[in-house]
Amino acid sequence: MTFLRRLASAVAALALTLPLAAQAQGLTKIRFSLDWKFEGQTSFFHMAKIKGYFEQEGLDVTIDSGNGSAAGIQRIASGAYDIVLADISALIEYTANNPGPTRMQAVYLLYDQAPLAYFTLKKSGIASIAGLQGRSIAAAPFEVTRKMWPVIAKAAKIDPATVKWVTIDPALRANTVIKGDADASSGFLNANLEYYARGIKPDELAMFPVADLGLKLYGNAVIASSKLIAENPRAVAAFVKVANRAFREGLADPATSVRFLKQREPLADEKLELTRFELLIPAMLTDRTRSGGLGALSKLDLENQVDYVTEAFSLKTRPNPDLLFNSSFLPSRAERMPLAPVTTTAR
């Protein structure tokens, strides 16, 4: 009798397990790489993973940290990843340098304005990007703020050749300026946190956003491999749908979004990562995205950026803008409109 009961229990347990196993086997596996480390501004992807948004759309998504946009582009070009988060300018450069069949396309835009800026100590006397003429800037070779400098300097009406670049790891940019080995550093709009972490007070630091020059540049976007687009367009559409859903929720409630980052990365400092996210929101939520919706871009602005990158990177060929962004996977405009911010007194 005992044996029969055990057998019945085992059969019942198996019956419960089989549907779950079948469901897991039915999910499409997607290898996704972020542009950088696990940080606040991309916390909504972890939120989507933990809350089951991807699974609800039939996807089994693996989220890995990245090492910059150029590295992300190579990850997808090599076939190691299906989808990456990387800068539009890096995509333009790769497409120009690798003629032939299209290897990848952007399918959803995160940064309507590239969140680029230059930083200096106020005691340097530098009062604007134009004031960087004849000075030195600390940056890694792959940084967009460095690679796009000829175009940025032109917009600031200064000679780009007068600037000396101090090649340094991104983690050491602020130290280089504080020590006096460079006059300024470059980075995203939240790179001021690098200075604050090293004892520099907010009123001692000057920040010059590239957007203040009136230069329209798109930033990071979700980029999918052409292979995945051709072989499984439903999976691409599902990923974009989830990214859009989580992005809207994250922008409306960054604090909650960052709590999911904490679940993914227990050592993350919630307060710091929330600040990091909030400092970048102005590059995501712009007048254009508030009125026209998230994720999309203007064909004219993209064409202009292709020209900018072709000039700044000295590209031998100008890529076709129509091959860079595939808008067919975007949800409707109504589904892409930003949500009302969540108000809370818990912070």
Q: pLDDT tens across 187-244, in order?
A: 999 999 999 999 999 999 999 999 999 999 999 999 999 999 999 999 999 999 999 9
In a 3-state reduction of DSSP, which class is residue 218?
coil
Q: Which of 347, 247, 292, 297 is nearest to 47 (CA)?
A: 247
Average pLDDT value for residue range 57-86: 96
CA distance 51 to 256: 12
pLDDT digits (tens, 9 = 90+) for 16-25: 443 444 355 6
CA angle 69, 221, 307 (to 5 degrees): 80
**pLDDT at residue 12, rounded to an integer:** 46
What is the band of 15 on the pLDDT scale with cuts at 50, 70, 90? very low
Token pair recorded at residue 266: 């227990």
**pLDDT at residue 342, rounded to an integer:** 87
**pLDDT at residue 162, rounded to an integer:** 97
Task: Write down the domain spans for the chain.
Answer: 23-112+218-336, 116-213
Average pLDDT value for residue range 166-191: 96
Q: What is the largest CA-CA distance in the chain?
A: 90
pLDDT digits (tens, 9 = 90+) for 146-156: 999 999 999 99
23-112+218-336 shares its CATH topology with 116-213: yes
**Mean pLDDT computed over every residue of the chain:** 92
Cβ contact 142:93 at 8 Å: no
Cβ contact 140:167 at 8 Å: yes
Cβ contact 166:80 at 8 Å: no
Q: Residue 9 pLDDT more than 60?
A: no
pLDDT digits (tens, 9 = 90+) for 306-321: 999 999 999 989 999 9
**pLDDT at residue 19, rounded to an integer:** 41
Class of domain 116-213: alpha beta
**Do strands 104-109 and 220-225 pair parallel, antiparallel, or not at all (unpaired)?**
antiparallel
CA distance 215 to 294: 20
CA distance 106 to 73: 11
Give kind and range of the element (H or E) at residue 33: strand 28-33
Select the more confidently predicted residue: 26 or 24: 26
Query: What's the CATH number for 23-112+218-336?
Result: 3.40.190.10
What is the band of 142 on the pLDDT scale with cuts at 50, 70, 90? confident
**pLDDT at residue 104, rounded to an integer:** 97
Q: Which of 77, 50, 73 is nearest to 63 (CA)?
A: 50
Cβ contact 207:192 at 8 Å: yes
CA distance 138 to 164: 9
pLDDT digits (tens, 9 = 90+) for 269-324: 999 999 999 999 999 999 999 999 999 999 999 999 999 999 999 998 999 999 99
Q: How many residues does the chain have?
A: 347
How far the first Cα of the chain sits from its last, in Å, is 59
**pLDDT at residue 278, rounded to an integer:** 97
